[in-house]
């Protein structure tokens, strides 16, 4: 079996599973946010439920419209807050909250071998530590909060094998954008995307999180990377729990194997309006930008901020550009202060936001007007994703985003570091 099939078999109480099989599996962690949580709570109450199955396994994270931008968002968060108190589930309030998919691993809540579901499509992030992790609807979350179970179809697995040393300014974001461009936004529809090879094994955790985070942008049911020493070192820094390390069998059956020479990957930029429109950054060097966003559940971790600060140090943001920096959690924010990164950003002309998903979904803290262009380290660039339906979003890694903020147009980091 593959690593995905093994985890699902374990949680369904079966000796084996196979692609296409329908299973009822126990869940280790259930997640919802300020948009999806209220809907799940409504369904929970409609079902007549009185108590969640296990309060220690349910996490509510208000991160999309927080700090609350208006009365409606405040009421949504209030609904979460009241339910969390009533049911004694995990809840992260302002001052402790972070972007959910950066916060949960940081808190040691996600472990190898777990089955994790979340009412957010980028829940597939946690596959980076060797968990089966997938996004589901709010009704599924309500059912799981009541029963501790989820109904799933076992996905077939596509194996992605990466070899070669990465070039300068190339990281996890470039790997996944390049991959999505290669197979298309539906190239892994309802498939497990298993990322492996010498290149992946050498990547730090932050890059692995970025890759698995965007599995959904290729249609994937889940993204997953087998846990190893790097995973173990990360876990030991956040929790005493070990989890269960699963590995695919040598004779595991894959629907397809895709081999990629990672040494050929250059810094990537995905043009509107699909993540699959990814090419070498230099293909877009004539595109002027109005706004730059560095953050999100994809690239708001400390290593991302370090990369951006390295580019920004001693330079100024272009006068026509709004540059927004969003540390993904309070802990990351504090670390960025300690390392002097925040000073670098402020001196260069950036604005620092509290942890939030806000601009990524066109919610607040950086909404685009008609005709405006942004380059962002976020994960989606669909029509109207970041604001006006006639605005344009390009996706990139942190170095490219910051270089573009300085030049006022999409730029290769080499242009500002020579």
Domain membership of residue 415 (yes or no) is no
What integer pLDDT is reported at residue 280 of this predicted model? Answer: 98
The CATH number linked to 282 is 3.30.499.10
Q: Are residues 245 and 324 in the same domain?
A: no
Give the CA distances from residue 188 to residues 111, 194, 223, 307, in Å, rounded to whole numbers and listed in that order: 24, 11, 10, 30
Q: How far apart are CA 199 and CA 184, in angstroms?
A: 22
Is 50 domain-assigned? Answer: yes
Domain end among 205, 226, 260: 260
| Mean per-residue pLDDT pooled into runs of 10, the chain (418 residues) | 98 98 98 97 97 98 94 96 97 95 98 98 98 97 98 98 97 98 96 98 98 97 98 96 96 97 98 96 97 98 98 98 98 98 98 95 95 97 95 98 98 92
Beta-carbon neighbour count of residue 179 at 10 Å?
A: 27
Angle at 360 between CA 354 and CA 361, to 5 degrees: 115
Question: Is residue 286 domain-shared with residue 253, that is, in the same domain?
Answer: no
Residues 356 and 233 in one domain: no
The domain of 117 spans 3-260
- Residue 319: what pLDDT? 98
**Residues contacting residue 144 through CB under 8 Å, at least 6 positions apart:** 27, 30, 53, 117, 136, 150
CA distances from 212 to 38, 209, 329 (A): 26, 5, 19
- pLDDT value, residue 289: 98
For residues 44 and 78, membership in a common domain is answered with yes
Q: Give CA–CA dist 337/354, Å, rounded.
A: 13
Question: What was the pLDDT predicted at 18?
Answer: 97
Q: Of 239, 260, 281, at which residue does a domain stop?
A: 260
Q: Is residue 346 part of a domain?
A: yes
Q: Flag whether 131 is in a domain.
A: yes
333 and 245 inside one domain: no
Helices (H), 158-301: 172-183, 198-201, 205-213, 229-238, 296-299
pTM here is 0.97
Give the residue from 228, 260, 292 where a domain finishes. 260
Q: Is the peptide bond before 273 cis (omega within 30 degrees of 0)?
A: yes
Based on the domain organization, do 102 and 228 belong to the same domain?
yes
DSSP one-letter code for 394:
E
311 and 227 within one domain: no
**pLDDT at res. 418:** 72
Give residue-wise pLDDT tens across range 384-408: 999 999 999 999 999 999 999 999 9
Same domain? 366 vs 298: yes
My answer on whether 348 and 200 are in the same domain is: no
- 68 and 181 together in one domain: yes
CA distance to 2, 176, 333, per residue, from 20 (Å): 14, 26, 43
Q: How many domains does the chain have?
A: 2
Question: What's the confidence (pLDDT) of residue 118?
Answer: 98
Same domain as 186, residue 210: yes
Asked if residue 195 and residue 91 are part of one domain, the reply reads yes
What is the torsion angle, in degrees rounded to the nearest 10, for the CA atoms of residue 266, residue 269, residue 275 and residue 278?
Answer: -50
């Amino acid at each position: 079996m593959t690593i995905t099939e093994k985890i699902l078999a374990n949680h369904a109480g079966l000796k084996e599973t196979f692609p296409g099989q329908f299973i009822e599996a126990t869940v280790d962690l259930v997640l919802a946010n300020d948009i999806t949580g209220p809907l799940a709570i409504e369904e929970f109450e409609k079902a007549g439920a009185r108590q969640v199955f296990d309060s220690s396994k349910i996490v509510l994270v208000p991160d999309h419209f927080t700090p609350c931008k208006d009365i409606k968002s405040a009421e949504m968060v209030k609904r979460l807050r009241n339910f969390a108190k009533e049911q004694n589930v995990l809840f992260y309030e302002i001052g402790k909250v972070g972007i959910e998919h950066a916060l949960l691993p940081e808190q040691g809540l996600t472990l190898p071998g777990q089955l994790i579901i979340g009412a957010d499509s980028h829940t597939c992030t946690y596959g980076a530590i060797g968990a089966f992790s997938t996004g589901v609807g709010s009704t599924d979350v309500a059912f799981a909060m009541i029963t501790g179970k989820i109904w799933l179809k076992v996905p077939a697995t596509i194996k992605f094998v990466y070899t070669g040393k990465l070039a300068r300014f190339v990281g996890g974001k470039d790997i996944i954008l390049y991959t999505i461009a290669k197979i298309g936004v539906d190239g892994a529809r309802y498939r497990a995307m298993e990322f492996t090879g010498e290149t992946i094994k050498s990547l730090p955790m932050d890059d692995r999180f970025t890759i698995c985070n965007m599995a959904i942008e290729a249609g994937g049911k889940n993204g997953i990377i087998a846990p190893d020493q790097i995973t173990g070192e990360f876990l030991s820094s956040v929790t005493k729990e070990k989890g269960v390390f699963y590995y695919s069998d040598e004779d595991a059956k894959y629907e397809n194997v895709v081999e990629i020479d990672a040494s050929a990957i250059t810094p990537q930029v995905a043009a509107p309006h699909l993540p699959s429109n990814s090419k070498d950054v230099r293909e877009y060097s004539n595109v002027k930008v109005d706004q730059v966003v560095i953050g999100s559940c994809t690239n708001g971790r400390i290593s991302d901020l370090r990369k951006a600060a390295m580019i920004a140090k001693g330079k100024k943001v272009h006068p026509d550009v709004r540059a927004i920096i969003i540390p993904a959690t309070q802990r990351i924010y504090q670390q960025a202060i300690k390392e002097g990164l925040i000073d670098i950003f402020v001196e260069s002309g950036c604005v620092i936001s509290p942890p939030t998903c806000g601009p990524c979904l066109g919610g607040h803290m950086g909404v685009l007007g008609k005709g405006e262009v942004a380059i962002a380290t976020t994960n989606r660039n669909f029509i109207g994703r970041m604001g006006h339906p006639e605005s344009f979003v390009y996706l990139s890694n942190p170095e490219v985003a910051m270089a573009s903020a300085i030049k006022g147009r999409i730029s290769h980091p080499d242009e500002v570091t020579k």
